[in-house]
Amino acid sequence: VSIEFQRLASCCKYAVPEGYPTKPLKNIPIDVSGLKHPELAYLGAVDADAAGALVATGSRTVGVVALADDLSAAEELAEAEVVTVKGQLFHRKDIGTAALVNARVAHMLELQKAAAKRLGQHQVTIGVLGSTRGSSLQPVLRDIASGALKGVKVGLVISNKADAPILARAAQHGLPYEHVPVNGRSRQDYDAELTARLEAEGVQLVLLVGWMRILSPSFCARWRRRALNVHPSLLPAFAGGMDLEVHSAVLAAKVPESGCTVHFVEDQVDAGPTVVQKRCPVLATDTAESLKARVQALEAVALSEAIATVAQEISHASGSGGDVPISYAAAGVSIDAGNELVERIKPLAKSTLRSGVMGS
């Protein structure tokens, strides 16, 4: 089954009884007639009294889920709806706002930095070059935050485009970021500035995440075996293309499988040694967009594994030792075996379904 996701932000806001959560009012009348978009609303802890009027029963009363192009727009839409619900209810107006999310992420990162310092962990510093959304960076940041990817930190995010969403992603995670415009410079001169900025932040490993420029031979030589790129195909097949054109070429070639490759960066495009490859089948129903979505999911796992492998090399080369990152495979975790187990469990779970029970 081909499943496609829209690139939208979502925000959910709840109206709850006064006194919630410790001593909420119960069986209080509520009025939802003011909802402009009732299709966005979900009646949670709501019942009807003897006269048929709606009452809140003490927990999350009315939820509103809004979708929009970005988080701020989604929050604004959800706020406009939830305030129309009347009764002895309240809701926090800062829930779901970019300011609150950013503040919580920044606090989490500070706690993690403090913990790493107490434990005396050596951290390999990563620099990121990106020209687009930086979607493949998000799972890496999540793995670092959760501790699944140990011994590394992102020290700098650079983009050649001032409006690249990857810069907003960096800001949300409290990461240093810079816009470095080309301004008509030669490739070598521009790349020299990139190297200078990366070195100034102590960067030891460079990630190319949607970097839409070919790098100069001097840059590749400086960062030999210390720069990684992810390509949306099983290299060397379909090398040289970018984004949807790669997936379109895969479909046109009618090959049975595709995937992604994380490789070291060299001055010949998409020709550096492979660090990690991940595979997926090409479905008869695939479009370039659906295949891209499936391959992007593989890129997340592949990037974290590749970072762990190269960061371990760097740590050993510097003689730091200590708590160095390991790969999923080295930790005894098989993603493929996990997926196989899920497929084996599905029919067993389905056999437990009963008529009238949710889950069908």
| DSSP string across 26-41 | -SEEEE-TT-S-GGGE
Token code pair at residue 224:
């030999």
Helices (H), 85-234: 98-119, 137-146, 165-172, 187-200, 217-222
Beta strands in 219-256 (DSSP E): 227-231
Backbone angles phi, psi at 229, to 5 degrees: -130, 145
Q: Please state whether beta strands 152-159 and 124-129 pair in parallel, antiparallel, or not at all (unpaired).
A: parallel
- Using DSSP, state whether 182 is helix, strand or coil: coil
User: Which residue of the set 91, 173, 231, 263 is catalytic?
Assistant: 231
Residue 81, CA distances (Å) to 31, 100, 130 in order: 13, 20, 37
- Using DSSP, state whether 68 is helix, strand or coil: strand
Rg (CA), the chain: 25
Neighbours of 192 (CB within 10 A): 16
Whether 247 is a known active-site residue: answer: no
What spatial distance separates the first Cα and last Cα of the chain, rounded to whole Å? 17
Q: Which active-site residues does the annotation give? A: 231
